[in-house]
């Protein structure tokens, strides 16, 4: 059987298309390998980090005082406990140990005096009476 020129041309075109499809599949396999994906992600992250660093440097150059204030505030926030401890130590060192220190205020307020009345007597009577026992049968 001999093929007509149209059939032969179609077979050649099918082979060409099949080869292109296989080449595309092989290229996709290479692109989707974990090593390739990780390498591309790493390169993108590095370039993005470099861009962010450049932007940060430009911002600092434009407003050095504002950036210094923000950095100082952040540092003070993060170091608030050591700063507080240092201030207390400095205060303790500056005050004389011979000076009497004021007492700390009491946590509970003193009760207000109640007028002598029936409530005091009832309490006294109820304390003197023995408790009644009620038994259920």
Instruction: Report the C-alpha gap between 60 and 57 in whole angstroms.
Output: 5
pLDDT digits (tens, 9 = 90+) for 2-27: 778 899 999 999 999 999 999 999 99
N- to C-terminal Cα separation, the chain = 116
What tens digit of pLDDT does each residue of 80-106 get? 999 999 999 888 888 866 666 667 666
Q: What is the pLDDT of the chain when averaged over all its residues?
A: 82
Sorted by where each begins, the domain ranges of the chain are 1-32
d(CA 6, CA 18): 18
Place of tokens 């005096």: 113
Distances (CA, A) of 48 to 32, 38, 52, 54, 61: 22, 15, 6, 10, 20
């Amino acid at each position: 059987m001999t093929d007509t020129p149209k059939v032969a041309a179609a077979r050649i075109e099918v082979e060409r298309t099949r080869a292109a499809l296989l080449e595309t599949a092989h290229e996709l396999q290479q692109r989707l390998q974990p090593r390739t994906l990780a390498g591309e992600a790493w390169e993108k992250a590095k370039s993005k980090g470099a861009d962010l660093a450049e932007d940060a440097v430009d911002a600092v150059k434009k407003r050095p005082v504002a950036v210094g204030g923000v950095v100082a505030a952040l540092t003070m926030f993060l170091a608030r406990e050591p700063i507080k401890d240092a201030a207390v130590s400095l205060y303790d060192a500056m005050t004389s140990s011979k000076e009497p220190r004021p007492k700390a205020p009491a946590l509970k307020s003193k009760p207000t005096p109640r007028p002598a009345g029936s409530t005091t007597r009832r309490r006294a009577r109820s304390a003197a009476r023995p408790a009644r026992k009620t038994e259920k049968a």
